[in-house]
Amino acid sequence: MTEPTRRRIFVTRQIPGAALDRLCQLHDVSIWPDRVPPTPTELLERVAGCDGLLTMLSDRIDESVMKAAGPQLKVVSNYAVGYNNIDLVAARERGIRVGNTPDVLSAATADLAVTLLLAAARLVPEASAQVREGRWGAWEPDVLLGVEPAGRTLGVIGMGRIGKTFAERMVGGWGMKLLYTSRAAKQDVDESLGGRHVEIDELLRESDFISLHVALNDETRHLIDADAFAKMKSTAVIVNTARGEIIDQEALVDAIRNKQIFAAGLDVTTPEPLPPTHPLVGLPNVLILPHIGSATDTSRHAMSEIAVDNVLAGLSDSPLRCEVPLA
Ligand SMILES: NC(=O)c1ccc[n+]([C@@H]2O[C@H](COP(=O)([O-])OP(=O)(O)OC[C@H]3O[C@@H](n4cnc5c(N)ncnc54)[C@H](O)[C@@H]3O)[C@@H](O)[C@H]2O)c1
Ligand SMILES: O=C(O)[C@H](O)CO
């Protein structure tokens, strides 16, 4: 019996768990050894001759990368649910399947959005800094007064898997009233969470807490700009666990400085990493985390399994376990 053909795979970072072992047993796998991503030039060099790529959200997989890989490239498996780093049009034109890792990270990411919302609303970054830096003078009745979510209005922008998981937590736990935007009203959200599908302007005006859960694409880039901040309440808290580019960051800096909104909690920024000298970093009522939404042991192991399954399916010309539609 002939051995199945071993294919060439490039994996752009070491990933948690044992899933890669399955790939290595069947194929010739090369894994980028560093903790920092390959540069665009290094990526072009490393993909040459590959049949499959297992990529991270920080790798830009555009036409030049697909071309550098060669016409035998069958599959790009992204280790993320978001796939804004991949040129889907170029993939479709070249007959390359694209995979992602949905669902298994929804709970972890929704939990982090809750964390950001509560921590930003209670001014945790500044409170913590006061203790660490020896600026905590005394217990005082009127400093570091935050805002409470209970019974207030929550605006969820993008009612997909994570948006809904987050809304369940905030409506169930804090009795929040729910407004949301999405391409269409969601009957299950309206019925189970008392949600109301609204236009974005109404959501921006009425919400006390706003959380972003849309995918990044041409329609959502800078969706939250200076005009949007101008519509928000001065007591509003905004949370972003989606993608940094959905917020116009200069407008966010102005909105915080001018007290147009109360606070912000960000897991995602532009660029990533955000330089420590960036004006957002110095603002006491902005909490910034290093893109850790899916960073739990459970989620990342499950993402590894799906990402490897996606590569294996793509190499055998089968539908992927989680396939991004290209049409
Ligand atoms: N911080 C993190 O670590 C982390 C982890 C997971 C996901 N994410 C981000 O969260 C996003 C959402 O993940 P998900 O699993 O909920 O995806 P999803 O596809 O289930 O939800 C995204 C929602 O955005 C909506 N949407 C997309 N484009 C839109 C547009 N132009 N106008 C209106 N609505 C639009 C879709 O209809 C969908 O309901 C991902 O795309 C990713 O960018 C971040
Ligand atoms: O899109 C995603 O999956 C996140 O940004 C990282 O898990």
Specify the pLDDT at position 1.
62
DSSP annotation of 244: G
**Fold match between domain 8-103+297-315 and domain 106-288:** yes
Query: How far is it, in rounded angstroms, from Cα 91 to Cα 62?
Result: 8
Q: What is the 3-state secondary structure (H, E, C) of 100-143?
A: CCCCCCHHHHHHHHHHHHHHHHCCHHHHHHHHHCCCCCCCCCCC
DSSP annotation of 3: P
Verify whether residue 161 is a known catalytic residue.
no
Whether 74 has a pLDDT exceeding 70, the answer reads yes
pLDDT band for 51, please (50, 70, 90 cuts): very high
Whether 202 has a pLDDT exceeding 70, the answer reads yes
Specify the pLDDT at position 99.
99
**Angle at the Cα of 177 from the Cα atoms of 203 and 188, rounded to 5 degrees:** 90
Which CATH fold topology does 106-288 show?
A: Rossmann fold (3.40.50)
Q: What is the pLDDT of residues 204-221, one digit of tens each?
A: 999 999 999 999 999 999
Specify the pLDDT at position 261.
98
Q: Which ipTM score applies to this complex?
A: 0.99
Sheet of strand 97-99: strand arrangement: 28-31, 8-11, 52-55, 75-78, 97-99
Q: Distance, CA 218 to ligand 1 centroid (Å)?
A: 13
pLDDT band for 302, please (50, 70, 90 cuts): very high
Q: Whose CA is nearest to atom 32 of ligand 1?
A: 183
Verify whether residue 272 is a known catalytic residue.
yes
Say which residue the tokens 């069947």 belong to: 26
Q: For the chain, what percent of residues have pLDDT higher than 70?
A: 99
Verify whether residue 243 is a known catalytic residue.
yes
Q: Distance, CA 134 to ligand 2 centroid (Å)?
A: 36
pLDDT band for 327, please (50, 70, 90 cuts): confident
Ligand 1 neighbourhood includes 27 CB (under 6 angstroms): no
Using most ligand atoms within 8 A of CB, pick from 58, 109, 241, 297 the residue to mutate for ligand 2.
Answer: 109
Say which residue the tokens 């997909």 belong to: 160
DSSP annotation of 212: E
Whether 71 has a pLDDT exceeding 70, the answer reads yes
Whether 3 has a pLDDT exceeding 90, the answer reads no
Q: Spell out the domain ranges in the chain.
A: 8-103+297-315, 106-288
Residues with CB under 6 A from ligand 2: 57, 80-82, 105, 293-294
What's the rounded mean pLDDT across residues 103-122?
Answer: 99
What's the rounded mean pLDDT across residues 66-93?
Answer: 98
- As a dihedral over the C-alpha atoms of residue 32, residue 300, residue 241, residue 184, rounded to 10 degrees, the angle is 110
Q: Of 56, 98, 96, give the one whose Cα is nearest residue 79.
A: 56
Q: What is the pLDDT of residues 161-175, one digit of tens each?
A: 999 999 999 999 999
Using most ligand atoms within 8 A of CB, pick from 157, 213, 223, 323 the residue to mutate for ligand 1.
Answer: 213
Specify the pLDDT at position 68.
98
Q: Distance, CA 83 to ligand 1 centroid (Å)?
A: 10
Whether 2 has a pLDDT exceeding 90, the answer reads no
Q: Whose CA is nearest to atom 3 of ligand 2?
A: 80
CATH code linked to domain 8-103+297-315: 3.40.50.720
Q: What is the pLDDT of residues 227-239, one digit of tens each?
A: 999 999 999 999 9
Specify the pLDDT at position 318.
97
3-state class (DSSP) for residue 161: helix
Catalytic residue among 243, 245, 300, 321: 243
pLDDT band for 15, please (50, 70, 90 cuts): very high
What's the rounded mean pLDDT across residues 246-256?
Answer: 98
Specify the pLDDT at position 21.
98
Whether 111 has a pLDDT exceeding 90, the answer reads yes
Catalytic residue among 27, 97, 291, 300: 291
Whether 4 has a pLDDT exceeding 80, the answer reads no
What average pLDDT does the structure give for the chain? 98
